[in-house]
């Protein structure tokens, strides 16, 4: 099992950041690499078990199932069903934690997955730096002061 | 049930922050509210279930039990067992998370408890601000100081040599007019030797440099270390030089780059460089202490160096635990009196040695369990008799030559000899192979290594001031000598006729 963990401080209150990221269908609004997204079978975006199908700006297509969403813990977990990345058993969690000192937010994004050993380093970099950190940096800039 | 949750970002790698926080007994080294902490029963500090017993600067005592500790999640939880405040059912946890984007650390401190309704807001505020936020700031300062390798603004407040004049500190005209050669009366050692080498002279006093303050001494402490400086045993003083490392007084001028001190402020110090035996001196204020209103100049000059020494001897060089047998030589002397009182307070059985019956009575009044007049009785045999052959757990020996061998003989198996002076002469050469017969540990602590940075000094000061306030230790009013009579003070100190502290009055 391979793990990736990335975290950033977002310069905005957690409730405000959560409003944006809790939308399972909302990636195009803030993740720079996502072109468009829809929820399959006309489900609601906060219905546990719903599937988002989105296309990347590079043309790739990914389907992910919502496993957990908590407005109490400010966290969201999902699994990859289909993707161009050769990963299996991929489960990721995006969570927010308030930083009371300054009213900021700690955003954490972590994933666990299985993959071919020779692909591990490249995938960790691709997911950690190329996906999670780019998205968190976009969040930071969006709320930047 | 109320919940308090505070969190912050510390600009340091998570491992550095966790190293500080995971030490369940280490909070007295960084939290400004805490003067002293110990783990009960000698349990390991990271044993889940261990209880820390600690004291606040205001005198309140608390006990908290470690409920969970995880190096994996970098989280620890604890609950309150006893407290002077009604924080009923208080359970708290501390956890850290890495901020990978920038190598910083997220720190959350949260708790739940049941306060009485009418004190709810007050207690929530106390916990959130007085404990958690104050702790955040203290750890941030501690780490900032480490990375800069320079003095930092930790409690108690002290100066930081600022690179540029600070707008908040008014530039004050020093008492000495520029261009005019000012002088001050001082005791000068022209060459190493006996007390007669302490001569009163008029020496030049320049304006303080930008990073210095000028202090007018009111009371100057006389310590055995001054004798060692005078004789050349320590090379802290290079003749011609002014001895003395302890004094209290008033700030008279402040260098342009100094912040945190102002003219008229009451201060004291117990640190190198030498030069205290004079009316006025300039010094870098890194280790200068702001004197609280309830500590007199007399007590500061008489007690600061000895109190700091007693603090690290009992809490750091050897951690005295309840039930230990502690042997203290020269127990009627300045440090000796503090060691006796403090070791008793820590729950030790104190066996004290003195040179005369008069001194024995003093030490008995301080609470020593047993007092041995070593001129009349072999103290090593007496210790073995009093302990049923078990011997002492630790011996504090500043007498040196006369007692060193006896101290070794008086120790039990795995005993600890703390040799921190040689009033009767150097201890000479010893074959360390012989120590294995009892697995003896010997420490030879150097004052500077426990006090030469604000970070090291702060816990000693906090413990000492707290112990004074709580009456754990009492510093007897010192014996006064005129500055000009410094040689007389040294003669009396070396003759072992004195009890308690000696000071020079300016």
Higher local confidence (pLDDT), B168 or A43: A43
Q: How far is B100 from chain A (nearest CA, A)?
A: 5
Claim to verify: residue B405 and residue B499 sit in the same structural domain: no
pLDDT in tens, B313-325: 999 999 999 999 9
Q: Is B98 on the interface with A (CB under 8 A)?
A: yes
User: How distant is the alpha carbon of residue B263 from its chain centre?
Assistant: 26
CATH number at residue B203: 3.90.180.10
Claim to verify: residue B13 and residue B144 sit in the same structural domain: yes
The Cα–Cα gap between B457 and B151 comes to 11
CATH topology of domain A2-142: Alpha-D-Glucose-1,6-Bisphosphate; Chain A, domain 4 (3.30.530)
- Across the strands, what pairs with A75? A70, A95
B174-185 average pLDDT score: 60
The Cα–Cα gap between B490 and B477 comes to 18
Q: Is A131 on the interface with B (CB under 8 A)?
A: no
- Determine, yes or no, domain membership for B252: yes
B426-453 average pLDDT score: 89
Backbone φ, ψ for residue B179 (5° rounding):
90, -25
Given B99, B126, B148, the domain boundary residue is B148
The Cα–Cα gap between B92 and B324 comes to 32
Q: How confident is the model at residue B176 (pLDDT cuts 50, 70, 90)?
A: very low
* pLDDT of the residue at B300: 93
B175-180 average pLDDT score: 42
> Could B98 and A7 be called an inter-chain contact, meaning their C-beta atoms sit closer than 8 Å?
yes
Claim to verify: residue B296 and residue B326 sit in the same structural domain: no
Alpha helices, DSSP H, located in B49-129:
120-125
Claim to verify: residue B278 and residue B346 sit in the same structural domain: no
Residue with tokens 């010094």: B283
The sign of the dihedral angle between the CA atoms of B62, B67, B69, B72 is negative
Q: Which residues constitute the domain of residue B217?
A: 183-304+475-505
Q: Is A97 on the interface with B (CB under 8 A)?
A: yes
> Could B99 and A9 be called an inter-chain contact, meaning their C-beta atoms sit closer than 8 Å?
yes
* pLDDT of the residue at B307: 94
- Determine, yes or no, domain membership for B315: no
Q: Which residue of A has its CA nearest to B102?
A: A8
Q: How confident is the model at residue A50 (pLDDT cuts 50, 70, 90)?
A: very high
Residue B174 has pLDDT above 50, yes or no: no
B108-135 average pLDDT score: 94
Residue with tokens 């047993």: B370
The Cα–Cα gap between B501 and B298 comes to 10
CA distances, B36 to each of A112, B42, B66, B334 (Å)? 44, 15, 17, 22
Claim to verify: residue B281 and residue B213 sit in the same structural domain: yes
Claim to verify: residue B6 and residue B144 sit in the same structural domain: yes
Given B148, B166, B192, the domain boundary residue is B148
Claim to verify: residue B210 and residue B333 sit in the same structural domain: no
* pLDDT of the residue at B158: 28
* pLDDT of the residue at B148: 47
Query: Could you give the ipTM of this predicted complex?
Result: 0.85
| Cut 0.90: pTM above it | no
B221-234 average pLDDT score: 89
Q: Give the nearest partner residue to A99 out of B98, B100, B106, using CB atoms.
A: B106
Q: How confident is the model at residue A145 (pLDDT cuts 50, 70, 90)?
A: low
Residue B501 has pLDDT above 90, yes or no: no
* pLDDT of the residue at B147: 57
> Could B7 and A9 be called an inter-chain contact, meaning their C-beta atoms sit closer than 8 Å?
no
Average pLDDT for chain A: 94
- Determine, yes or no, domain membership for B449: no
Claim to verify: residue B122 and residue B207 sit in the same structural domain: no
DSSP string for residues in B307-333: HHHHHHIIIIIS---TT-EEEESSTTS
Residue B268 has pLDDT above 70, yes or no: yes
Chain A (35-94) residues lying within 8 Å, Cβ to Cβ, of chain B: none
Residue B304 host element (H or E): helix B297-312
The sign of the dihedral angle between the CA atoms of A75, A79, A84, A89 is positive
Claim to verify: residue B430 and residue B330 sit in the same structural domain: yes
> Could B8 and A99 be called an inter-chain contact, meaning their C-beta atoms sit closer than 8 Å?
yes
- Determine, yes or no, domain membership for B350: yes
DSSP symbol at B241: B
Q: How confident is the model at residue B181 (pLDDT cuts 50, 70, 90)?
A: low
Flag the least confident range among A34-48, A82-96, B68-82, B169-183. B169-183
The Cα–Cα gap between B337 and B398 comes to 13
Claim to verify: residue B132 and residue B12 sit in the same structural domain: yes
Q: How confident is the model at residue B57 (pLDDT cuts 50, 70, 90)?
A: confident
CA distances, B175 to each of A84, B4, B88, B166, B208 (Å)? 79, 52, 56, 20, 10
Q: What percent of chain B has pLDDT over 90?
A: 66
Task: Provide the CB-side half-sphere exposure for A83 (13 A, CA).
Answer: 21
Q: How many domains does chain B have?
A: 3
Residue A79 has pLDDT above 60, yes or no: yes
Residue B155 has pLDDT above 80, yes or no: no
B36: nearest Cα among B458, B462, B452, B321:
B462
Q: Is the peptide bond before B505 cis (omega within 30 degrees of 0)?
A: no
- What are the boundaries of each domain within chain A? 2-142
Chain B (60-89) residues lying within 8 Å, Cβ to Cβ, of chain A: none
Claim to verify: residue B121 and residue B213 sit in the same structural domain: no
Claim to verify: residue B206 and residue B142 sit in the same structural domain: no
Q: Give the nearest partner residue to A100 out of B6, B98, B104, using CB atoms.
A: B6
- Please enumerate in sequence order all residues whose Cβ is within 8 A of that of A89, keeping only pairs 6 or more positions apart, or say none: A1, A79, A112, A113, A114
Residue B258 has pLDDT above 60, yes or no: yes
B374: nearest Cα among B392, B357, B398:
B357
Collect all residues of chain B within an 8 Å Cβ-Cβ radius of residue A8.
99-102
A46: nearest Cα among A24, A26, A61:
A24
> Could A101 and B101 be called an inter-chain contact, meaning their C-beta atoms sit closer than 8 Å?
no
A85-104 average pLDDT score: 95
pLDDT in tens, B6-52: 999 999 999 999 999 999 999 988 898 888 888 988 778 888 889 99
CATH number at residue B138: 3.30.530.20
B228-237 average pLDDT score: 86
Q: Is A100 on the interface with B (CB under 8 A)?
A: yes
B304: nearest Cα among B317, B319, B316, B288:
B288
DSSP string for residues in B163-211: SS--TTS-----SSPTTS--EEEEEEESSS-SGGGEEEEEEE-PPPPTT
């Amino acid at each position: 099992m391979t793990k990736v963990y990335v975290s950033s401080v977002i310069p905005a209150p957690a409730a405000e950041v959560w409003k944006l990221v809790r939308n399972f269908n909302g990636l195009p609004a803030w993740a720079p690499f996502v072109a468009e997204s829809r929820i399959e079978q006309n489900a609601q975006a906060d219905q546990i078990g719903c599937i988002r199908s989105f296309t990347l700006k590079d043309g790739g297509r990914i389907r992910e199932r919502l496993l957990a969403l908590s407005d109490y813990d400010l966290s969201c977990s999902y699994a990859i069903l289909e993707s161009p990345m050769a990963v299996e058993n991929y489960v990721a969690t995006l969570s927010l934690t308030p930083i009371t000192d300054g009213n900021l937010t700690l955003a954490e994004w972590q994933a666990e997955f299985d993959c071919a050993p020779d692909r591990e380093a490249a995938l960790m970099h691709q997911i950690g730096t190329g996906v999670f950190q780019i998205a968190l940096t976009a969040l930071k800039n969006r709320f930047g002061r | 049930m109320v919940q308090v949750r505070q969190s912050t970002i510390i600009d340091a790698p998570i491992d550095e922050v966790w190293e500080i926080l995971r030490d369940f007994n280490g909070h007295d080294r960084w939290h400004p509210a805490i003067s002293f902490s110990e783990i009960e029963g000698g349990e390991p500090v990271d044993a889940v279930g261990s209880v820390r017993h600690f004291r606040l600067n205001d005198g309140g005592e608390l006990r908290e039990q470690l409920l969970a500790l995880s190096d994996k999640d970098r989280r620890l939880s604890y609950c309150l067992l006893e407290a002077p405040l009604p924080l009923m059912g208080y359970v708290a946890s501390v956890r850290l998370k890495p901020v990978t984007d920038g190598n910083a650390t997220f720190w959350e401190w949260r708790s739940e408890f049941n306060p009485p309704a009418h004190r709810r807001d007050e207690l929530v505020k106390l916990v959130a601000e007085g404990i958690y936020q104050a702790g955040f700031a203290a750890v941030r300062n501690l780490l900032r100081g480490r990375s800069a390798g320079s003095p930092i603004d930790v409690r108690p407040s002290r100066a930081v040599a600022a690179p540029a004049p600070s707008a908040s500190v008014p530039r004050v005209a020093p008492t000495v007019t520029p261009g005019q050669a000012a002088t001050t009366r001082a005791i000068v050692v022209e060459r190493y030797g006996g007390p007669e080498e302490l001569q009163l002279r008029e020496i030049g006093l320049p304006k303080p440099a930008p990073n210095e303050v000028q202090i007018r001494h009111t009371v100057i402490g006389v310590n055995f270390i001054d004798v060692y400086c005078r004789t050349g045993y320590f090379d802290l003083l290079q003749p011609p030089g002014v001895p003395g490392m302890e004094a209290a007084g008033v700030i008279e001028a402040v260098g342009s780059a100094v912040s945190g001190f102002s003219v008229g402020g009451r201060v004291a110090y117990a640190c190198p460089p030498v030069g205290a035996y004079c009316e006025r001196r300039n010094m870098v204020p890194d280790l200068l202490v702001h004197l609280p209103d309830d500590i007199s100049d007399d007590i500061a000059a008489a007690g600061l160096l000895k109190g700091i020494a007693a603090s690290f001897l009992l809490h750091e060089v050897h951690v005295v635990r309840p039930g230990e047998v502690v042997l203290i030589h020269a127990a009627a002397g300045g440090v000796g009196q503090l060691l006796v009182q403090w070791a008793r307070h820590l729950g030790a059985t104190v066996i004290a040695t003195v040179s005369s019956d008069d001194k024995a009575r003093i030490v008995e009044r301080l609470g020593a369990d047993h007092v041995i007049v070593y001129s009349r009785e072999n103290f090593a045999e007496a210790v073995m008799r009093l302990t049923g052959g078990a011997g002492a757990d630790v011996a504090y020996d500043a007498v040196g030559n006369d007692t060193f061998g006896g101290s070794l003989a008086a120790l039990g198996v795995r005993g600890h000899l703390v040799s921190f002076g040689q009033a009767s002469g150097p201890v000479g050469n010893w074959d360390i192979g012989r120590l294995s017969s009892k697995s003896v540990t010997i420490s030879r602590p150097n004052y500077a290594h426990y006090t030469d940075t604000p970070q090291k000094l702060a816990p000693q000061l906090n413990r000492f001031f707290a112990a004074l306030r709580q009456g754990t230790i009492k510093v007897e009013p010192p014996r006064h000598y005129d500055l000009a009579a410094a040689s007389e003070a040294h003669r009396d100190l070396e003759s072992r006729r004195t009890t308690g502290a000696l000071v020079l009055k300016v």
